[in-house]
Structure 1
Amino acid sequence: MSSTEGPALRSPVDDVPPASGPATHSVAAALFHACRPRQWLKNALVFAAPAAAGVLTTGAGLRGSLVAFAAFCVTASGTYMFNDAADADADRRHPRKRLRPIASGAVSVRLARVTGTVLIALGLLAGWAGGWQLAAVVAAYIALTFSYTLWLKRQPVVDLVAVAGCHVLRAYAGAVAVAVPVTSWFLVVISLGSLLLVAGKREAELRAQGGNGTRATLVTYTVAYLGHVRVMASGAMIVTYCLWALQEHEGAARAPYAVSIVPFVLVVLRHALLVDRGVGEEPEELALRDRPLQVFIGLLLVPLAVGVYLT
């Protein structure tokens, strides 16, 4: 996402009503693309707490998790609409973001805002279907993302924490949806992991754009500073995970968690390598395309599944 330029400047296509027939189909396809379906992968964080608590294989646990996932997918797409509408003019100056449906004019700013409003309302309703607690977390996510779009994205350091906070809310929503307690270990690892991903994303953007991109805070950050943030977050996260794996489990139950430390560290190291190569700008793309990272994640999930469900 890039910095907000305000709604004053508009593309000429903003005032052109959608046509019928094939043109309408094109607008529908563009609207779907504007929902950023690839980024729905981030919402898989809602399954983390139910899986860790061992309730994901129960009917109630699976239903609650799926409701939370659906609520966040719809809500997030609605907030993306508003963010891209606010950033349309800035995105047109970006070599890649200018191809986004709103920036390119395939979807008008007005239509994006109307669609975004509908999606956010549907997301809140879906959250309410999972209980008022889930609806409250969805509402908190909406408030944070709008604050980010309107102001926080232009505040150095705060913007990193704000985006990381969105990931933490996703993970917390999964716990709320299935009524499982959230441990301090879980929150710390999720928070540090989220900060690591956001810092890596900013660093990759800075490497690609040289500080001349459309994101306002890039003119403040340096590669060295963001690298420092990544080192701090990854080191603290690994230590926290190791303490949880070795101290919170006893006897035979400790073995699979201890084994999971190795692939956990490999995931962190692989991510660091990819960011240093300048390909961490879209973290969700890494999980979909990088085969070694996929293998390490799979190796991590196996001992965790054994520890949760078989010991």
Structure 2
Amino acid sequence: MKPYLKLIRPHQWIKNGFVLIGPLFAHRLDALTLQSAFLAFLAFCASASCVYVFNDLLDVEADRQHPTKCKRPIAAGLIQPARAWALTLLLAATAALLALVAGPWVLALVVCYWLINIAYSLRYKHVAILDVFMIASGFMLRILAGTLGLGLGVSNWLLLCGMMVTLFLGFAKRRAELLLLDGQRHDRNAVRRVLEDYSAPLLDHCISVCAAGTIVSYSLFTMSADTVRIHGTDKLIYTVPFIIYGIFRYLYLLHGHGRGNDTASDLLQDRHLIMTVGCWLGLSVWLIY
């Protein structure tokens, strides 16, 4: 079972926590809403794993030339392609069923997630800038699944913040790949063709813009009149320092320790990031509820 668990990457499911942002900031933590949100969360977990397997099947030759991806189960020959395709279909069916139970709009958003990722895998992952925007769109669909998909309202500032932080993580991932490949002298084109169109200065500028956009948009969200009215407090501004520290810590890991290639692993392995997210979440819940 270990190769199959490694193939579906359960540690990446933490990214689907974006689905739960909606109920938290919509002041809707009743049992029915939480049940639907949890089903949407599971649907995106299955969908994400389905996409991971699909991508590994398409990229098997490139992965075999990558310094770390060569250890993935399909590239390493631990799982046969036929079984991987069967797993892909099983995960897709599971995701569709869970999404349908959560709500028709959740199912529609899951289907959009599949279509975007299929287009990304087949064509647009080779188009610089657009590739990162398509990755970010997957996170935006998670936020929408936890808001509009569950019939909840959503702040435009929160949506903007979600877009900026996911773009930040996407460009940071490309920067980490450049650092990794340059350090080990691998052929960029053989590993990821789009890296030929990126440069370190370009990515650093993109990361800086997105980091600033994240901080500003989240700060404006905490101070907006709608946020104060819905939550009955203007104290959410006190959670902003955790956002700023988290971004700076991530940049430190990226440039100081060569991290950033796997956001979920970085979050789960760095105690500073774990404490930052925990403090932000705990303070947010305490102030709101």
Shift of 1:177: 4.2
In structure 1, the residue matched to 2:13 is 40
CA distance in 2 between partners of 1:187 and 1:242 (Å): 13
Shift of 1:142: 0.4
Shift of 1:303: 2.5
1:181 partner SS: coil
The counterpart of 1:229, out of the listed 184, 206, 212, is 206
The Cα offsets for residues 6-55 of structure 1, whole Å up to 9 and x where unpaired, read as xxxxxxxxxxxxxxxxxxxxxx4322221111111111111111111122
The Cα offsets for residues 82-129 of structure 1, whole Å up to 9 and x where unpaired, read as 110000111011121111001011111222112101211221111111
The counterpart of 1:187, out of the listed 159, 172, 188, is 159
Shift of 1:250: 4.8
In structure 2, the residue matched to 1:83 is 55
CA distance in 1 between partners of 2:228 and 2:6 (Å): 48
In structure 2, the residue matched to 1:306 is 286
Q: CA RMSD in A?
A: 1.5
- In the comparison of the two structures, how many residue pairs are matched? 280
Instruction: Give the TM-score, by structure 2 length.
Output: 0.93
2:198 aligned partner, one-letter code: Y
1:269 aligns with 2:248: yes
In structure 2, the residue matched to 1:242 is 219
CA distance in 1 between partners of 2:2 and 2:217 (Å): 44
In structure 2, the residue matched to 1:119 is 91
The counterpart of 2:27, out of the listed 54, 59, 72, is 54
1:144 partner SS: helix
Point out the more displaced range, 137-146 or 294-303: 294-303
1:259 aligns with 2:223: no
Q: Is the 8 A contact 1:53 1:308 kept in 2?
A: no
1:102 partner SS: coil
Instruction: Give the TM-score, by structure 1 length.
Output: 0.86
Q: Is the 8 A contact 1:212 1:218 kept in 2?
A: no
1:104 partner SS: coil
Q: Is the 8 A contact 1:64 1:177 kept in 2?
A: no
In structure 2, the residue matched to 1:13 is none
Mapping 1:121-200, distance limit 5 Å: 121-200=93-172
1:212 aligns with 2:184: no
CA distance in 1 between partners of 2:6 and 2:276 (Å): 30
Q: Which has the larger radius of gyration?
A: 1
The Cα offsets for residues 146-184 of structure 1, whole Å up to 9 and x where unpaired, read as 111111111111101000111111111111343201221
CA distance in 1 between partners of 2:187 and 2:130 (Å): 20
Mapping 1:288-299, distance limit 5 Å: 288-299=268-279
Q: Is the 8 A contact 2:70 2:76 kept in 1?
A: yes
Point out the more displaced range, 47-56 or 145-154: 47-56
1:212/1:130 CA distance change after superposition, 3 Å: same
2:265 partner SS: helix
Q: Is the 8 A contact 1:60 1:178 kept in 2?
A: no
1:157 aligned partner, one-letter code: I
CA distance in 1 between partners of 2:138 and 2:25 (Å): 20
Structure 1 segments of 4+ aligned residues over 2 angstroms from their partners? 246-252
1:271/1:170 CA distance change after superposition, 3 Å: same
Unaligned 5+ segments in structure 1 are: 1-27
CA distance in 1 between partners of 2:91 and 2:278 (Å): 33
2:200 aligned partner, one-letter code: V
